């Protein structure tokens, strides 16, 4: 993909998809067109921004890019969970940030070991992958837990009346929510390389990299995603659980 003509030919697939939608009267033409336009514009803007950041190799520029990514991920995850739960935005942001920072720190110190910690070639793409997965995990866990707690008032209050602590009363609900948040990552790990070739591995192979090297990087990415998502889901489920009880250990619904 090193010439504009190749990109035009790639866009041809979306033109055919829009034509097929019109032919079958699916009503998806506008959505497909908007999605295609946004994909092109967003990726072009990101490409130019990253090219500039890679060129100057300034830590503040790298941190600015990561901050924007974190803010967007936090808002998207919060909106998917609920807008009624108090203090949810900082809770989601802090959980995603902690999971991402711990994962990237471990990876930088023990695996990649770049010359400088802010090396944009490694930090930005890896942070983007981890943030995206942590965002999805946080959204799944948060939405599942909030919904379950709101719909299980009788069961929870029964446990409380029998002497259970808030932590004990909702332990099973929290565990189920965390498992749900990890299911997409674990399922992907189960079939990676057998059913699908993930994006990073495919991209490296298409770029001419050694398939074994591409497989090694993909293993690193999968382990990072599982680690970061687990940390994020643990933190956000713990934080949300606390929001549903007051100091007198009484259940509050949102």
Q: How far is CA 123 from CA 24, 50, 67, 71, in A?
A: 45, 12, 13, 17
Predicted local confidence at residue 203, as pLDDT = 80
| 33 burial type by CB count under 10 A (0-12 exposed, 13-18 middle, 19+ buried) | middle
CA distance 62 to 114: 15
Predicted local confidence at residue 84, as pLDDT = 87
CA distance 5 to 3: 5
Q: Which residue has the tokens 């979306």?
A: 14
Measured N-to-C along each axis, helices 199-206 and 211-243 cross at an angle, to the nearest 10 degrees, of: 150
Predicted local confidence at residue 1, as pLDDT = 63
| Cα 148 off chain centre by | 22
Note the pTM of the prediction, 2 decimals: 0.87
- What the block records as the tokens of 174 is 């929290």
Predicted local confidence at residue 52, as pLDDT = 93
Predicted local confidence at residue 2, as pLDDT = 66
pLDDT by 10-residue block (mean), the chain, 254 residues: 81 95 93 95 92 92 95 95 90 97 96 91 93 96 95 93 93 96 93 79 82 90 96 96 90 84
Q: Are 77 and 138 in contact (CB under 8 A)?
A: yes
- What the block records as the tokens of 188 is 């992907």
Predicted local confidence at residue 21, as pLDDT = 94
Q: How far is CA 145 from CA 100, 151, 167, in A?
A: 22, 10, 13
Residue length, the chain? 254
Q: Are 181 and 173 in contact (CB under 8 A)?
A: no
Boundaries of every domain in the chain: 1-56, 57-243
Of 77, 85, 239, which Cα lies nearest the Cα of 174?
239
| Cα 26 off chain centre by | 30
Predicted local confidence at residue 29, as pLDDT = 93
């Amino acid at each position: 993909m090193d010439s504009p003509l190749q990109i035009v030919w790639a866009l041809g697939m979306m033109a055919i998809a829009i034509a097929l939608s019109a032919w079958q009267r699916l009503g998806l033409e506008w959505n497909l067109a908007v999605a295609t336009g946004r994909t092109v514009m967003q990726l072009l803007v990101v490409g130019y921004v990253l090219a500039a950041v890679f060129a100057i190799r300034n830590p503040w520029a790298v941190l600015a890019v990561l901050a924007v990514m974190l803010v967007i991920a936090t808002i998207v995850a919060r909106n998917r969970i609920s807008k009624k739960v108090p203090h949810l935005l900082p809770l989601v942001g802090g959980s995603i940030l902690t999971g991402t920072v711990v994962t990237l720190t471990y990876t930088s110190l023990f695996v990649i070991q770049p010359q400088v910690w802010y090396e944009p070639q490694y930090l930005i793409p890896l942070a983007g992958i981890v943030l995206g997965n942590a965002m999805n995990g946080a959204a799944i866990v948060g939405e599942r837990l909030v919904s379950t707690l709101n719909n299980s008032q009788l069961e929870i209050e029964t446990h409380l009346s029998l002497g259970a602590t808030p932590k004990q009363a909702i332990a099973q609900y929290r565990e189920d929510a965390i498992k749900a948040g990890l299911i997409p990552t674990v399922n992907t790990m189960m079939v990676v390389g057998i059913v699908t070739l993930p994006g990073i591995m495919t991209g490296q192979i298409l770029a001419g990299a050694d398939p074994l090297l591409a497989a090694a990087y993909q293993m690193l990415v999968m382990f990072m995603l599982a680690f970061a998502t687990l940390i994020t889901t643990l933190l956000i489920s713990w934080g949300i659980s606390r929001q549903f009880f007051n100091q007198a250990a009484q259940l509050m619904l949102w």
